[in-house]
Structure formats: C-alpha cells, structure tokens
Amino acid sequence: MTQVPVRDQTNQGYLTPRNTQFSVFLDNRCGKLLELVEVFDRDAVEILALSVVDSADHAVVRVVTSHAAKARELLTRHRLPFSEAEVLIVELGRGRSLAKLCTCLLSAEVNIHYAYPLMILPRGVPTIALHTDDQITAGQVLQRKLFTLLAESDFEQNKGGLGENPGTPPD
C-alpha cells in the first residue's frame, strides 16, 4: 500500500494512491483495438486494465497502464484522441469483497461511476479499477476500512513489459 504525504490537499493530510486512466476514442472498425494495443506494446508499456464501451460509430477504450507519462506521450504522438481521469486501484479478496467495498462507499454516500477488473494482479488477488464521484473520499474511506489501494509504483515490476504474474503460464 502506498501513501503519499502532501500538505493541505485533504482534510486528513494525505492523498490516497491514485492512477491515471486514459479514455481513448476510436472509430468502431475492425482492427482499431489491435492498433491501440500495439502502440503500447511497441514501447513496452504494459496495459494493466482495459474496458471497451462501443456504439455504432465509435468506441471508448478505458486503459490503465504501467507508466502513465509514457502512455500519454504515445497517445499524443500517435494522434489518438483521449481524455484522462483518476481511478483508484483496489485489491479485493482476503476478507475484502466487492459487496463490502460497495457497502463502505454507500455508507459514505459515494457513487461508483464505473469499475472494471485489472488483468495484472501484482499480489495475486482480485483487483479492480474504480471511478467514483469523489475519489479522495472514496480512497480515504476504503483505506480506513483496511482495503489496499495500489499506485502506479506498485506495478513497478511490470514496467517495460517484463513483469509476469506468478504462476501465470507464458503465451
């Protein structure tokens, strides 16, 4: 679990670990997702989580990567339209279920806008990317309830595309 001390940014005196999610806007055509994935693959930026929402004309691909700054640079260089949002990466399991997570956020009156699982499990437990209407409160509530929040630095072993999950068979 990573905590970054900051001055006066929250009423608790610390900022919860957060991650950058990129929402990439693609034409809804065959092969476009592959093109996006290859942009990251060529530069050894690992995709940690992926969610695709499509419509008739376009798709929005939500991506969390192992290196946000490099991902931002690649998306800009390849002229792919994108926006950014903060997401919390929360470990489940070990007595911390999805139901308990939802209950904790409900008790704090924090709404979940969307959530999706990670493909990389740095510690071998289920992990979810979470976007809420109040990321700071959500992070603080979950930490108080002993959920583990992960930051980009917790995926350090995956930077450069070299990290593998323990026990995962190779391709």
- Please tell me whether residues 132 and 91 are part of one structural domain: yes
Q: How far apart are the first and last CA of the chain?
A: 30
Q: Do the domain assignments include residue 108?
A: yes
CB 4 within 8 A of CB 68: no
**pTM metric for this prediction:** 0.79
Domain that holds residue 139: 11-18+86-161
pLDDT tens digits, 29-82: 899 999 999 999 998 899 999 999 988 889 999 999 999 999 999 999 999 999
- Please tell me whether residues 93 and 40 are part of one structural domain: no
- Please tell me whether residues 110 and 79 are part of one structural domain: no
- Please tell me whether residues 72 and 108 are part of one structural domain: no
Tokens 């990290």 map to which residue?
163
User: How far is Cα 138 from Cα 161, in angstroms, rounded to an integer?
Assistant: 30
- Please tell me whether residues 59 and 48 are part of one structural domain: yes
User: Which DSSP string do the residues of 73-123 spell out, in sequence order?
Assistant: HHHHHTT--EEEEEEEEEE-BTTB-HHHHHHHHHHTT--EEEEEEBS--TT
Higher pLDDT, 77 or 154: 77
User: 36: domain CATH number?
Assistant: 3.30.2130.10
Q: Do the domain assignments include residue 171?
A: no
Q: Do the domain assignments include residue 169?
A: no
Angle, helices 135-144/98-107, rounded to nearest 10 degrees: 120
> In the listed set 47, 67, 84, which residue is the last one of a domain according to the structure?
84
Q: Which phi and psi (to 5°) does residue 100 adopt?
A: -65, -40
Q: Do the domain assignments include residue 44?
A: yes
pLDDT(11) > 60: no
Q: Is 1 helix (H, G, I), strand (E, B) or coil?
A: coil
pLDDT(167) > 60: no
